[in-house]
Every structure is written in structure tokens, then in C-alpha cells.
Structure 1
Amino acid sequence: MFGRAGRPRTSHARSVLAHLVSATLTATAVLAATSPAAGAAPPPPAVAKFPAGFMWGVSTSGFQAEGSFPDSNWTRYAEKKDPYNDSVDFRNRYPGDVKLARGLGANVFRTSLEWARIEPRRGVRDERELAYYDDLVRRIKAAGMRPMLTLDHWVYPGWVADQGAWDDPRTSSDWLRHARFMVERYRGQGVIWITFNEASQYIFNETVSRPMNPAQLFTMRDALIRTHRAAYDMIHEVDPGAPVSSNVAYGSIVNGLFDAALFNEVTDKIDFIGIDYYYGASLENISAVHALTGEFWKIDPEPDGLYYVLKNYQRRLPHLPVYIVENGMATDDGKARPDGYGRADHLRDHLYWVQRAIADGVKVIGYNHWSLTDNYEWGSYRPRFGLYRVDVLGDPSLERKPTEGVAAYRSVIANRGVPSGYVPVRRPAWCSVEDPVATCFGRTPTPPAPYRALY
């Protein structure tokens, strides 16, 4: 094989999605109230280990972390949201952040190559910014980590916005020209390439922030599909053997819509299934509705849902390995959750279920935690996902302060899994959306066993 939203805004798209989710959640709540109580039994303790060669990573993105950002669609959108400032200043502090990632034991570092930074004016590349990315990739590799580079994490240059963004057919050819330049620059360096980050959320954010009408929405969708397909072929031509994918956001109740944004149309043009899993839903837990308002810290995580999501995607594409490109948990401005569930619990619980999935035959080859540090969550600094806290608005020094998740992740990586005998803090959900048949009738996965090498 291998070798996050700010202030709510009113929009037609959000209204439609909200009504769809609301109706579905209401129906499940009614069913829950009329169904017999059936709390799921605790899962058996973990005994398996992650295989040697498993890829352990951290994820971040350029716009969210770099600061000092040039004109782009998102610097413009941020003018109507919480002030961007200089974010966590990754642009100038990246050597230290790369060391923090390596100190975890990570062997993959994911970030994005920002088109707006590299080509601030059409046809004019900024050599200073290219030197920055050159040094970033060099330091990632020197630290013993593999670069996972995203070509588009929802951000494009201001001049692309001025020409009509994805409404204009020139944007696809401009994007591919830029992508070829970057792939040629970093070919042969073991890069894992991501074309578009979460196409469904990319389209949704553009619909809300530009905004776009339904015709523009479908134009953008078609353009992303065509561009990804062309990019896949181009990358394999320029950087033979490099794995390519576009990570899909898992969307629980509306996951069919999320997959339809791009994933369903490119399953023949990906080398691995890239999954971003944050939230599940069940008859006991409909808190994922808070994602509609950007109040991610109010959502109750469902770690066991990841097990079923992994199995479901593997069932759909059994010939491909699976990589968890993003997984994490928001806290409210860095404060502890009222229920006491911490980042260490969240990490261990989710990785327990990943171990269970591998033991049951899912070809999971990597896991990235989102994110290394707190950063700008597309309009707000209030949701905090970082293994390292950074108080952008209250601490001018932008000191990186470790959460309890740092020690937990370091231990899991070093020991190739959660502690022997570990039982998740969160019990499995009853009647999970991720697999109603398996979870509504009391069935739980078979106890794990040491697994063979899958790749």
C-alpha cells in the first residue's frame, strides 16, 4: 500500500440543512421515547496492538494556523467574523511546532500549501513564501515525519475570488497549473497528497460565506469533481507512486449528502479512503445538531461510531486502505468540559475503536489528530481542538501549553495502542445512526484478537 465554523449566519443552504437535520432528529427522539430502554453493554477490553509501520500524525491547515495571511477568499470572509489577527503564527513558529509534533512520536505531519500565499497575483509567485514551504517540508522530513500536503483547504487567492471563484471555468485550469507546479517542486519526497479537503464543507462554506445560489453550488461541485480527477492523473504522472486522495467529512445523519459532494464520483481516482470523523448520532445522543451553530463543544462524542464508519467505508471499497485524516474534540475556549470528558479520554476511546476495526479486518493505515495546536476555526477562536493550547486573544506570547492529550497520544504511539485491558470511558451508544442494525439490537463487535499484517 503506502509504500470548524464561527458565528452562525442565515442562509438558504443552512436553513434547508437545519430543517432536514431537525426533522430527522425529532423522529429519532420520538422513537427513543417509545422504545424500550436498552443501554449497550460495555465493550470488552482491548488486547490488540496497532501494526508496525502504522502512520501516526497531526493535522493542521495553513490559513487556520499561519497568520500574516495575504488577500484570499477567507481573509475577506473573516472581516465579517471574529478577527483573524495572526492566528497562532505558525508561519514564523513552524520550526518549534514541527518539533512538538515529533516529540509526540508522530511520523506524519499534515498541513496545506496555500495558493493565496504562493501566488498572490496571477502569474506572480512569491519566492519568499516558496522558501518557507521548502523549509517546512525539509524540517518535517528531517524530523523523521512524512509530509501530508493538502493542495486546497478551502482557501484561494483574492484574484481568483475576483474572477468568480469556482463559477469561472478558468479557476479549474488555474488551480491545476498551480497544483502541477507544487507537485513538481515536492515530487520524490514521500508526500501523501490531498487534493481538496472535505469537499462537502468547502461547498457549504462557500454557499454561506459568498454566498452562492443553488446553480452556483452545483457548478462548484462539478468543477471540484473534474479538477480532482484531473489532479489525480497529474500527480501520478509527476510524482509516481505518491498516494492521492480527497478526505471526506463524515456527516452522520446527512452523510449521503456529504459523500455526494465529491467522494461518490471519484472512488476510482483515490488511493486510500480519507475519513474525517468528529461526531456521531444515536437515539440517546442527538447533540450533533450543535454543529449547525458552530457550538462544537456542546456535542457529546460517540467514539464507537468511528468503528462502524470505518467498517462501512471499507465495505464499500474493500480494495482500498483507510486513513483517518482528522479526528478531534472541541472544548469551549480551552475550558474543561462540564462532564469531565477530557482530550486524553477522547483520544484513547477513539483509538480503542480503531484497534477494534483493524482487528475485524478494516485496513486502517493511519490516524491524524486534529489539531496540533488551537487555531482559527473558520470564524472563531472559541472552539479549541489543539493538543497544545494557544490563547490567541488573551496571550500575546502565543505560548503552546500542553493539554493532557499530549501525554496520552505520546503513550499510545509509543505502545502501539491503548493500554492493555483498556475499557473506553464512553460506553457504546444505543441505536447508533452509524449502524442501526448492529447497535439497536444489542449486538457488539466480537472481542479483538492480535491481527495479522494487512499491508
Structure 2
Amino acid sequence: MLNFPDNFLWGAATAGHQVEGNNINSNWWEMEHAPNTHVAEPSGDAADSYHRYREDIGLLASLGMNCYRFSIEWSRIEPERGVFSRAALDHYRRMIDTCLEFGVEPIVTLMHFTVPRWFQHDGFWRAGDAADLFARYTETALGILTDRVKYVCTINEPNIAAMLAGGEDASNLVAYGLPHPDLQVADALLESHRRSREVLSQVSGIKSGWTVATQAFQPTDEDGSEEMVHKFGYVRDGWYSEAAQGDDFVGVQAYTRNFIGPEGPKKRSDDIETTLTGWEFFPPAAELGIRDVWKRSGQTPVMVTENGIATADDERRIAYTDGALRGIHAAISDGIDVLGYQHWSLLDNYEWAAGYRPTFGLIEWDKETFKRHPKPSAHWFGRVAQANALPDASGASQDEQRS
């Protein structure tokens, strides 16, 4: 068996806007309903997890997982500037308590892309008081985290958020069109992350960090591609990993790889296997992300906070996850401190500008009744989590392991 460390965290992840439903005070809800929007469809009720969280957490636990990464929604907690909802805070407190009731480690994300409408209208991350406002929000949320939550992700994928701010439309959030990031937004996100960590440090026992979308930039065999990997990749990936030095942990969110030629990104070959998001089926992405972040961050402990594929073929989900976990085990064997693995995602969810077509979930649900149906991959992953180990020999073919 390929054994993982004692106390390794095995779980799955979601984000509030993508599963809760009716997040009407968020900037994304507004964008979904804007005239001539690039968004494929509105989020609507999503998976109704705002009301069904107990069922979802109980199902996660029954499958064999021991942690759940979810986000709390700033737009619900502070629906208008300076106006805070005690009911929303209590809702998320109950979510945390439910995790603990089921023996599940809650891993809380404070900001998973969405922000309140008023924050967007008042300047977004370009506003001079953005970091102050995020610190105030963190302070407000602190009461529900104290004595309950060990791991807090401050900001989800700030590198993607900065690229979106510099891009033309919201479709890049799924397509990873990789526009040049808005460096003002990047600096504001880093300041906001550090201010949030200062607030969280008031509570003994809370460990905090941000999560980075590692993109496995790889050079082609053309002259100049190595130099372009650094030039292109550093502002979209590496800078954020370096900024994690001194944090309690850093989240790695890995899905695929990107080839870079001397002029920039190269179009993928037509003969490779791709997922429903158009990304290459590439299980080594997680291991490559871990190794890169570990090096750049000065050996900050790593947690895989997202990894998975969008596919309608659940056997390919199992094959991908098996390959990813074997790479993660290899990184651990080389001495890298990996705290845990959260599969993206627990539920089929709203994949931003692409709508509901890309299915990442271990669990599907009926769009009329919301009844949950775990997929075979959920049971497979749960058995791995319960064993805290993988079999020595993969069930996938050698060709699949090399893909």
C-alpha cells in the first residue's frame, strides 16, 4: 500500500456561490443577470446547499471523508456596506458545528471570487480602502471561527482573480484564458490577505493561508520558450507562491498544464484528451503544483485545496484522481509537507461563466428534487480516504498513468 501520513486530511470542496443558491447580493449574481452577459446561465437555486448543508456534510462523512472545505459568503454577511447579518453569521456557525458533529474538519474560505455588490460598485479591489474592508469582514467572521476552525483560506486563487480583473470578460474564469493580470488588484489582494491574517492571528490555533491556482507552465522545444515560461508564468503563478512565505500553509489548486512557446501560450494539440472545460486530462498537475509551491514559498506546508476534472465519464474521474494522488504521494515521499487533499468538488455545481455543463462533482443531484446521488467515484474516493492509502498498483492502465 502507498500509505499517507497520519492525520492526513481527506475531503472535498465547494464554494458558496456555486452550490448555495440565490446569492442575490453578490457581484456575480448581478453579472449573471446583466444585459448581454457573457455568462452562460444564471446560478439560480444552484444545488440548494444553503438549506441542505446538513445532508451534504453528513453524506461526505458517511462516504469516509474527514474534512470539508467550503466558503462563507461576504455578500450574505455584509449585504450592504456596514450592515451585518447576525442570521447569516449564525447560519455559517451552524455549518461549522455540523461539521464537528459529524467528525469532519471544517476548512473555511473567506472569499471565493464573489464579493458584495456594494464592494464592486465602490471600487472593487482597486478601492483605496479595500484591504480595510476585508479586514473588517474578517473581524466580523472571527466570532464563528474561534475554537471551531483550525484552517482558514483567506482568498481563493488571487492569481486568477487578478487575471480576471485584467481580462475582457468572465469566461476566462473557466477557460483560463490567462490575460495579463491587473497588478493593482494583485497588490490589493496581497495586502488584504496579510491584513486578514493579522486579524485571524488573534485566535490561537487558527492556521491561515491563501490558495494559488498552479498552472504547470511548461516550455516547448522552441528557442526562447524557457525564458517565456518565467516571464509569462511568474506574474500569473509564481509571484503568489512566493508571497506565501511565512504563512501557516498554502493551498494548491491544480487541474491541468499549459505549454508556453517563445511568443506565449501554445494551442493544445487536437489529439489529446480534454475535459468538459477544454483542459488537458493531466493527473500530474497536482504533484507539479505542490513541488513548485513548496520551493517558491520557502517550504511552507502545502494543502491541496482543489483538484479534479469536469467529465461526464466517472471512470475517467477515478483514473484522474488516482493518478493525481500517486503524484502527491511521491511528493510526500520526497519530504514535502502535504497536509491534505480536497477533491473539487463535492457536488456538481455552478461553474461560473460556463454554467452547469461542466460536472466536477463526486455527487450529482436532481435539478427538480435536489436529491443527492453519489457517483461511483465518491465511493472509490471514500474507500481511499478511510484506508489512508492507495494500492501499490493502480487500477488504471500504464498508458493512463503516463498520460
Length-normalised TM-score, structure 2:
0.83
1:232 to 197, 205, 222: 197
Superimposed CA distance per residue, residues 184-220 of structure 1 (whole angstroms, 9 cap, x where no aligned partner): 3321213311111000111223344489xx9992221
Matched, 1:68 2:22: yes
Deviation at 1:263, TM superposition (A): 3.3
**Number of residue equivalences:** 365
Query: What residue in structure 1 maps to residue 114 of structure 2?
Result: 155
Deviation at 1:50, TM superposition (A): 0.8
Query: Which has the larger share of strand?
Result: 2
Determine helix, strand or coil for the equivalent of 2:3: coil
Indicate conservation of the 8 Å contact 1:287/1:300, yes or no: no
Determine helix, strand or coil for the equivalent of 1:128: helix
* Counterpart-to-counterpart distance in 1, 2:280 and 2:76: 37
Length-normalised TM-score, structure 1:
0.74
* Equivalent residue runs for 1:32-431 within 5 Å: 47-79=1-33, 80=37, 81=39, 82-207=41-166, 208-209=168-169, 217-236=182-201, 238-253=202-217, 255-260=233-238, 262-268=240-246, 270-281=247-258, 296-317=276-297, 319-331=299-311, 335-336=312-313, 341-379=315-353, 380-390=355-365, 395-422=367-394, 424-425=396-397, 426-429=400-403
Deviation at 1:225, TM superposition (A): 1.1
Determine helix, strand or coil for the equivalent of 1:427: helix
Determine helix, strand or coil for the equivalent of 1:384: coil
Moved over 6 A (4+): 286-290
Determine helix, strand or coil for the equivalent of 1:411: helix
Superimposed CA distance per residue, residues 399-430 of structure 1 (whole angstroms, 9 cap, x where no aligned partner): 2222121111011112212223336442325x
* Counterpart-to-counterpart distance in 2, 1:100 and 1:75: 28
* Counterpart-to-counterpart distance in 2, 1:66 and 1:289: 37
* Counterpart-to-counterpart distance in 1, 2:237 and 2:101: 36
Gaps of 5+ in 2: 172-178, 218-231, 261-265
Deviation at 1:259, TM superposition (A): 2.3
Indicate conservation of the 8 Å contact 2:89/2:144, yes or no: no
Q: Radius of gyration: which is bigger?
A: 1
Deviation at 1:349, TM superposition (A): 1.7
Deviation at 1:171, TM superposition (A): 2.3
* Counterpart-to-counterpart distance in 1, 2:375 and 2:131: 41
Whichever residue aligns with residue 153 of structure 2, its letter is I
* Counterpart-to-counterpart distance in 1, 2:375 and 2:170: 36
Indicate conservation of the 8 Å contact 1:355/1:417, yes or no: no
Whichever residue aligns with residue 406 of structure 1, its letter is A
Cα root mean square deviation, aligned = 2.6
Which range moved further: 72-81 or 317-326? 317-326
User: CA 1:175–1:281 in 2, change beyond 3 Å: closer, same or farther?
Assistant: closer
Determine helix, strand or coil for the equivalent of 2:2: coil
Gaps of 5+ in 1: 1-46, 430-455
* Counterpart-to-counterpart distance in 2, 1:297 and 1:78: 19
* Counterpart-to-counterpart distance in 2, 1:388 and 1:215: 35
Indicate conservation of the 8 Å contact 1:352/1:417, yes or no: no
Indicate conservation of the 8 Å contact 1:229/1:266, yes or no: no
* Counterpart-to-counterpart distance in 2, 1:396 and 1:199: 35
Deviation at 1:287, TM superposition (A): 7.5
Superimposed CA distance per residue, residues 22-74 of structure 1 (whole angstroms, 9 cap, x where no aligned partner): xxxxxxxxxxxxxxxxxxxxxxxxx4311221111211011111002122211
Give % identity. Answer: 28
Determine helix, strand or coil for the equivalent of 1:176: helix
